[in-house]
Structure formats: C-alpha cells, structure tokens
Amino acid sequence: MEDVEGFVVRSVIPEDFAAWQVLWDGYNAFYGREGATALPAAVTQMTWSRFFDAYEPVHAMVAERAGRLLGLVHYLFHRNTTQIPPVCYLQDLFTIEEARGRGVGRALIEAVYERARSAGVQRVYWQTHETNTHAMLLYDKIAERSGFVVYRKRCEARRAAAHGQRPGERIAGAHATRPAWPACRPPSRRARSGR
C-alpha cells in the first residue's frame, strides 16, 4: 500500500479538473453510474462549474499529497424548516483505493465540519448506501446514525411542460404568486456582464 501520509485538504481550483474528474468518475462507478448508466458529460461540467460560482451553495474540497489527488468531498448549505441556521449536506465523498483506511476520508469529513462551523452551521449530515459497510465503520465513529430512511421518487419535467410551464416553475396552487426557485437567484456574473 502506498504511503498517503502528509496530505493536505484544500478547496478545488480550476486546474484540478482532470484529476478531480478521475476521482468523480471513480465515485460514480462505485454507485453504478458508469458505462450505459454514466452521468452525461453536461452534468459533470455543470457540477464542476458550480464549485466556482459564488451564487451556488455547492462546494468542493480535495485531499492532495505531492500533487496527486487522493479524495474528494462535495457539500452544500441549504435552508431547513426546523431551525433558523442553514444545515450542511455532505453529498459526495470518495477516496482512491490505496488511501482508504488511512485517514483521508476522515480528514475530508472533518474539513467539512470546520467549514460548517465557520459558516455558523450547526449540523452536517449525509447518507450512504446500506452496502457501503466499510465506510460506515468510519461514519459510526465520527457521527451518529439518524435512524431516518431515505425515500425518493423521480419527478419528470413533462408535468411542468404539460401545464405550459418551464421546469422549476411552480404549478398553480398554494404559493402560486411566489417566483420559481431559479428566478430567486441573482443573475450569473456572465449574464450581468453580457458575455
């Protein structure tokens, strides 16, 4: 096993893209998103661009040693209905095979904890697949299981189109006078500058 001691955790920079994408592809392959089920390139490009958009609440850090990226973590801040401060969702965590069990994953999570504290956020949470038992050995040491089970349902954009609305716009009904969430964001720097 390669020695991974002496690594640092830092925010991504634009020059990290190629090395980050190797980690990103590994993360997605771990969860079965490869080959015919791989994420479209547009999703990867949009995800990467969000890390550098000041109006986006999505952030990324990497663990690096001697110019080599060993792992990544993506997290975002969002509102919560049960408390006033926002919460932090740690969405993606991945380390290369030889870095597992060597403190890299823990350091990435701890770095998210520190960013959350600095932002005045009181809670960080994440989810993992029930088969990810190796990672859960770490998670059980540095966080507590919430006991919640995650449910999800894919909602197709066709419903909005059938009502003459763009995806993201609210369907008529409760709170119909509020703008759709995309309209709540300030225009991007590119839109403001006309480029």
pLDDT in the model for residue 90: 98
pLDDT in the model for residue 177: 46
112: domain CATH number is 3.40.630.30
Domain that holds residue 124: 8-152
Q: Per the domain annotation, does 192 fall within a domain? A: no
Spatial CB neighbours of 135, under 8 Å, sequence gap ≥ 6: 93, 105, 128
Candidates 56, 72, 68, 61; CA nearest to 13 is 61
pLDDT in the model for residue 9: 98
Question: CA-CA distance, 15 to 116, in Å (whole number)?
Answer: 25
Q: Per the domain annotation, does 178 fall within a domain? A: no
Q: Per the domain annotation, does 171 fall within a domain? A: no
How far apart, in Å, are the Cα atoms of 17 and each of 20, 65, 72, 98?
Answer: 5, 16, 12, 21
What the block records as the tokens of 2 is: 């390669």
**Helix extents (H) in the chain:** 17-30, 41-50, 104-118, 133-142, 158-162, 181-184, 189-193
Q: Per the domain annotation, does 176 fall within a domain? A: no
pLDDT in the model for residue 4: 60
**Average pLDDT of adjacent 10-residue blocks, the chain of 195 residues:** 74 98 96 94 97 97 97 97 95 95 96 97 95 93 93 77 53 46 42 46
pLDDT in the model for residue 191: 45
Q: Per the domain annotation, does 73 fall within a domain? A: yes
pLDDT in the model for residue 64: 97
pTM to 2 decimals? Answer: 0.78
Q: Per the domain annotation, does 128 fall within a domain? A: yes
Span 115-126, pLDDT tens digits: 999 999 999 999
Domain count, the chain: 1
pLDDT in the model for residue 188: 46
